[in-house]
Structure 1
Amino acid sequence: MNKPSISRSPRYSAALLILCAALGLHAELSAQTSNAAPPKVLRYAFQVAETGFDPVQVSDTYSRIITAHIFESLYHYDHLARPVRIKPLTAVDMPEISADFKTFTIRVKPGIYFHEHPAFKGQKRELTAADYVYSIKRFMDPAFKSPSLIDVQEMRISGLLPLREAALKTKKPFDYDTPIPGLKALDRYTLQIKLDEPRPRLIERLAQSDLMGALAREVVEAAPDQIMSNPVGTGPFVLGEWRRSSKIVLNKNPHYRERFYDAEPASDDAEGQAMLARYKGQRLPMVDRVEVSIIEESQPRWLSFVNGEKDFIERVPEEFILQAAPNGKIAPNLEAKGVAMERRVVPELVLQVYNMEDPTVGGYTPEKVALRRAIGLATDTEREIRLARRGQAIPAQSPVAPHTSGYDANFKSEMGDYDPARARALLDTYGYKDLDGDGCRELPDGGKLRLVFNTQPEARHRQLDELKRKNYSAVGLCTEFKTAKWPQNLKSVRAGNFMVWGVASSATRLDGQDLLGRMYGPSKGAQNLARFELKAFDDVYRRMMVIPDGPEREALFREAKRIAAAYAPYKFQMHRIQTDMWHPALQGFRRPLFWNNWWEYVDVQR
């Protein structure tokens, strides 16, 4: 039987060729896709939940780690340089600074663009000097209640404070459009900052991408109530996913400018020189995605690292440090997996905050000062370091942290003393007696005395709370504990609704005066959690701001430390030793000191 013949027209043949070509192309693309390297994903966990991602509205470290990778300031710290060095980031060069430290002229690099956003209507939006003018002004807008308000206010930018005062007085929206003499875009790319007072260290404030990064006005105005969840900057990463207090995902910015790995490690820094040799010239960022989980309990966070679910653990929990690094060396089981470790005293301070406006522990009269000093003397910091923190700290003597200017390892004060006998003597002398014999002292007027501590629910805090209870019970001070999550405690403390709270503070700049801001009167309710107000201290603090580094300023540091010890609005307990660990998949890591961005400088190779 003859098969029917099939007539193939030229059109049919052409279609067949196109189909075959398409199938071939599909097969080729499929092969390429199957052979393509998987995305490089950095995975780790925060131990405390974030609060949001607007630089103007956040103050906590964990939110600021995120904002530091989304936004960009004019300057940044060289990630390998030790001693630290500040370099241009979005600026063309270092600023032109007048001899009196009151005028700073900065040129912004052309060709830097914001992340894509509907507010830009499909157009590329270039970063300009005006964006920094706008972003700095936002700190002064009463609508945002910025915890960094005083820091920006103390920059003394000419004409900036009156804008805020006008908004507060008239109750009208903050005026972003009125020009002021101290903050000008001289042209599209030139920013000029003029100050009413000298600020020799202003560049340190301008090197904080987590706080001083640029925002685009049209993005903010498109949805002003969504900025905490809608961060749009010029940085190497964009927010991809956010499940509050659970998971944060940042993706590589697909339109990030050509920026390449470079650094200036010291000539005798073998590790830094090796990193530079390996990565110099590679385009940043090197990873495609960063996945951050929020795991507040220490055990599951530690196990997630040990089991390889996380590439990196920031701050190995103290309760697991003997398993992780017995005698300061990586445990054999971890070493066999190729785990690396970095251990160092970091520029941080663990402190106990007393509410100076609280009727029990607050106030400036001799009996109130005596109560706070007695609490401090009854605090066995060495025991806490040994037992609860497994040796991962050194005692503090002042509010100034290691690695910052003004820190003196030889400075000694009562802050470092544990002396329960002296604590009892102070309490007896100033009328804090146990009148009814129940083991709890009363106030000098006979009223009830209970120390009420804000605390967190995690296991490590329960252990710390038990140590406090024993310390203070030994001198006749009875305690109560109010438990809430860290963000809720921070909110209560900022509002002044607390008696005592334990917290840690990190230096964000090289200048040690940053941490002295904990006692600066105008910072009350923001950085000054204790709500301490003393003219003598404020006078010292203001004087420190205007003079260059040198012997005169060092003498002012010493005076500030003496006032802190004398009035005791805080018990400065310890500087933590931080142990970070990472699996071999994470490469190129070096712990930052005063900055929060490092993801763009690391690689992930699985």
Structure 2
Amino acid sequence: MKSPRMRKLALAVCCILPTLLPAAHAQEPVKVLRYIMEAAESGLDPATTVDEGGLMIEEAIFDTLYTYDYLARPVKVIPQAAAAMPEISADGKTYTIRLKKGIVFTPDPAFNGKRRELTMADFVYSWKRLLDPRLSSPNSWLFDGKVVGLDELAAAASKGGSFNYNKNIAGFELLDPYTLRIHLKQTDFNLPMLLAQPASAAVAHEVVAKYGDSKGEVASNPVGTGFYKLGEWVRGSRIVLNENTDHLPQTWDVAPGDDPDDQRIVSQMKGKKMPQIGRIEISVQTEDQSRWLSFQSGAADLFRLGGALAPKALLNGKLRPELAAKGMQLSRLLDPEITAYYWNMQDPVVGGFSKDKIALRRAIAMAHDVNEEIRITLNGEAQRLEYPIPPGVVGHDPHYRSLLQYDPALANKLLDQFGYKVGKDGWRTLPDGKPMVIHFASRAGSAGELQAELWRKTYKSINIRMESQMLTFGDLIKEQKNCKLQAFASPWQADYPDGSNFMQLFYGPNTHQNNSGCYQDAQYDQWYAASEKLPAGPERDLLYHEMARRLEVNAGSMIAYGRYRNMLAQKSVLGYKKHPIMQEEWQYLDMATPPASPAK
């Protein structure tokens, strides 16, 4: 038996011993990145999500077959869940895609405790969901009219029956669990870009069966195979994502692009395990000032600096010196988007293709000072654009000049010439002498009110009475799709970085979908259909020029501007560069470890 003195000595050694063990045995703390979203997410079902916040989170949770190179500019499609880029037939109608083996869904009660591997059948199931009439998916355009047999399967379900997910169709040929051959109805060289869309991500049929999608329950229970999984969710307020530790091992190995700053990012990140950040804490803050204060106080690591906040952080497009001195970082790019001015082509006052209606729309377009709108409503955080395809997107022409230039005097002469006379009350009438009023719709809120006032000034300069409609964002989208708005401005950000994604905005069959102005022109449609059969190159670019010029001649729309995206990051964020297409970049980032406190 040990003496009391020996027992005390042994106890002392036990207490000291942990401090002598190698530091490698101590568990490293989880790195946390705090992110701010401007608006609440609508849900987390790839089939039904269209809002930016929801898409961002889905990119982290779900896998698509393809994604984009993090640093390459112009952007470049690369494999994600796919083992390699697809094998494409010479006519662009057949794609053979192979899947990486060993990818598994995150654990969920839907799998009854079993480890559930991802297969190509999961992608086929998920793509069929987009065409299921019960869902009315806003993302059905990804496959609508493209895959052999898919539209017919959807048509059968729309006649009153249920969608037969188990029925094989010729367009989806499963060669084995990891190999899929897709047969398209028409040539499409952009399919890999479509398969990089969050809406094309894989969802397990067991998850849909367990939670049901008739009332959106699947959107509340996201189960994917991505770098992250859902940890906590307070709708419209807070979302926490945790690292998916079951993800296939992946190492940060991205080649630098042409930007000299890419070398700094590569030096910070090359060779590290992905992801480095184990926890993403997302808060929803709708007020500009709240977001700014959160970032300034250090309560947020990364957030988007909206146009209203730009003067607080930027000077001539660069970070203010006092913020740069604190180590804050700015990632700035011109978004691959356009904002266009639309007139409802089905409206009895501003629509139609008669000479007087075309003259009216041209006059309105020439009376509006786009640069003034950029300066006043966006604090200069946009660039005047004239071509329907913006910079950074395949098919853009930096030398194109629009026929519709700012010229209020000429606009008034045009209206006089086509019978829009100024009455005794100072306002113009329609050519038949009836009163004329234009209703301009904008988003409810201070920014929308400011935009409406600028347009009121425009209409007043050509003696046209204008009334404003202030609508919520949801109602604006709804009324656009229903061809109910008379005049409005609307942005479109690239789903994928190819010109076809922008030229389709004026394609007649896309009315009630993405064709916001309900523009229907047989010649334009013919050219667009022909362009879809061509790969990117001079022949297709020539058709795009014809289409852009015809759109102007008919004054079916006016291309206005593209907005800058400014992302601010704290000094501690490593490896960050905003991507033009990807919604989130969290798996590519790291957080600097704070220096250890000096020993006392």
> What TM-score do the two structures reach when normalised by structure 2?
0.90
- 3-state SS of the aligned residue for 2:266? helix
- Aligned partner of 1:516 in structure 2 is 503
Question: Quick one: structure 1 residues 322 and 59, their matched pair in 2 at CA, closer, same or farther if it must change by over 3 Å?
Answer: same
Which residue, out of 328, 352, 365, partners 1:376? 365
CA distance in 2 between partners of 1:115 and 1:49 (Å): 24
- Aligned partner of 1:119 in structure 2 is 110
Q: Is 1:357 equivalent to 2:341 in the alignment?
A: no
Which residue, out of 330, 348, 353, partners 1:341? 330
What RMSD, in angstroms, separates the aligned Cα atoms of the two structures? 2.8
Which residue, out of 568, 572, 583, partners 1:581? 568
- 3-state SS of the aligned residue for 2:502? helix
Question: Quick one: structure 1 residues 475 and 78, their matched pair in 2 at CA, closer, same or farther if it must change by over 3 Å?
Answer: same
Deviates more, 1:374-383 or 1:61-70: 61-70
Deviates more, 1:396-405 or 1:366-375: 366-375
Question: Quick one: structure 1 residues 129 and 479, their matched pair in 2 at CA, closer, same or farther if it must change by over 3 Å?
Answer: same
- 3-state SS of the aligned residue for 1:301? helix
Q: Which amino acid aligns with 1:469?
A: R
Task: Give per-residue Cα distances to partners, 1:95-140, cap 9 Å, x unaligned.
Answer: 1112222111111111101122221111121110101111111221
Q: Is 1:215 equivalent to 2:206 in the alignment?
A: no
Task: Give per-residue Cα distances to partners, 1:63-118, cap 9 Å, x unaligned.
Answer: 32222222211111110122322221111111111222211111111110112222
Quote how far apart the aligned CAs of 1:469 are: 1.7
- Aligned partner of 1:293 in structure 2 is 283
Q: Is 1:456 equivalent to 2:447 in the alignment?
A: no
CA distance in 1 between partners of 2:561 and 2:241 (Å): 33
- 3-state SS of the aligned residue for 1:577? strand
Q: Is 1:431 equivalent to 2:419 in the alignment?
A: yes
CA distance in 2 between partners of 1:596 and 1:317 (Å): 16
- 3-state SS of the aligned residue for 1:44? strand
Q: Which amino acid aligns with 1:287?
A: I
Which stretches of structure 1, 4 residues or more, deviate above 6 A after TM superposition?
A: none
- 3-state SS of the aligned residue for 2:261? helix
Question: Quick one: structure 1 residues 448 and 298, their matched pair in 2 at CA, closer, same or farther if it must change by over 3 Å?
Answer: farther
Alignment of 1:27-426 (within 5 A): 38-154=29-145, 156-168=146-158, 170-208=159-197, 210-222=198-210, 223-224=212-213, 225=215, 226-266=217-257, 269-314=259-304, 316-415=305-404, 417-426=405-414
CA distance in 1 between partners of 2:361 and 2:141 (Å): 27
- Aligned partner of 2:484 in structure 1 is 497
- 3-state SS of the aligned residue for 1:164? helix
Contact 1:78 1:263 in 2 (8 A): yes
CA distance in 1 between partners of 2:321 and 2:330 (Å): 13
Contact 1:250 1:291 in 2 (8 A): yes
Contact 2:336 2:497 in 1 (8 A): no
> What TM-score do the two structures reach when normalised by structure 1?
0.89
Quote how far apart the aligned CAs of 1:269 are: 4.3
Contact 2:104 2:117 in 1 (8 A): yes
Contact 1:398 1:565 in 2 (8 A): no
Which residue, out of 532, 535, 539, partners 1:548? 535
Q: Which amino acid aligns with 1:433?
A: K
Task: Give per-residue Cα distances to partners, 1:153-202, cap 9 Å, x unaligned.
Answer: 24x2111111122222x221222222111112211111110112221222
Contact 1:49 1:487 in 2 (8 A): no
CA distance in 2 between partners of 1:265 and 1:51 (Å): 35
Any unmatched runs of 5+ in structure 1? Answer: 1-7, 9-15
Question: Quick one: structure 1 residues 58 and 585, their matched pair in 2 at CA, closer, same or farther if it must change by over 3 Å?
Answer: same
Question: Quick one: structure 1 residues 246 and 470, their matched pair in 2 at CA, closer, same or farther if it must change by over 3 Å?
Answer: farther
Any unmatched runs of 5+ in structure 2? Answer: 2-6, 595-600
CA distance in 1 between partners of 2:403 and 2:237 (Å): 41
Question: Quick one: structure 1 residues 116 and 278, their matched pair in 2 at CA, closer, same or farther if it must change by over 3 Å?
Answer: same
Q: Which amino acid aligns with 1:251?
A: N
CA distance in 1 between partners of 2:60 and 2:126 (Å): 17
Identity of aligned residues (%): 37
Q: Which amino acid aligns with 1:579?
A: N
CA distance in 2 between partners of 1:259 and 1:60 (Å): 29
Deviates more, 1:278-287 or 1:110-119: 278-287
- 3-state SS of the aligned residue for 1:401? coil
CA distance in 2 between partners of 1:214 and 1:275 (Å): 30
CA distance in 2 between partners of 1:579 and 1:286 (Å): 24
Question: Quick one: structure 1 residues 66 and 501, their matched pair in 2 at CA, closer, same or farther if it must change by over 3 Å?
Answer: farther
Question: Quick one: structure 1 residues 303 and 237, their matched pair in 2 at CA, closer, same or farther if it must change by over 3 Å?
Answer: same
Question: Quick one: structure 1 residues 410 and 135, their matched pair in 2 at CA, closer, same or farther if it must change by over 3 Å?
Answer: same
CA distance in 1 between partners of 2:477 and 2:231 (Å): 27
CA distance in 1 between partners of 2:93 and 2:526 (Å): 20
Quote how far apart the aligned CAs of 1:446 are: 4.0
Which residue, out of 524, 537, 549, partners 1:537? 524
CA distance in 1 between partners of 2:382 and 2:176 (Å): 50
Question: Quick one: structure 1 residues 291 and 186, their matched pair in 2 at CA, closer, same or farther if it must change by over 3 Å?
Answer: same
Q: Which amino acid aligns with 2:325?
A: A
- 3-state SS of the aligned residue for 1:402? coil
Question: Quick one: structure 1 residues 540 and 165, their matched pair in 2 at CA, closer, same or farther if it must change by over 3 Å?
Answer: same
Q: Which amino acid aligns with 1:585?
A: S
- 3-state SS of the aligned residue for 2:532? helix
Task: Give per-residue Cα distances to partners, 1:537-567, cap 9 Å, x unaligned.
Answer: 1111111111122221110110111122123
Quote how far apart the aligned CAs of 1:524 are: 1.6
CA distance in 1 between partners of 2:141 and 2:542 (Å): 24
CA distance in 2 between partners of 1:128 and 1:147 (Å): 25
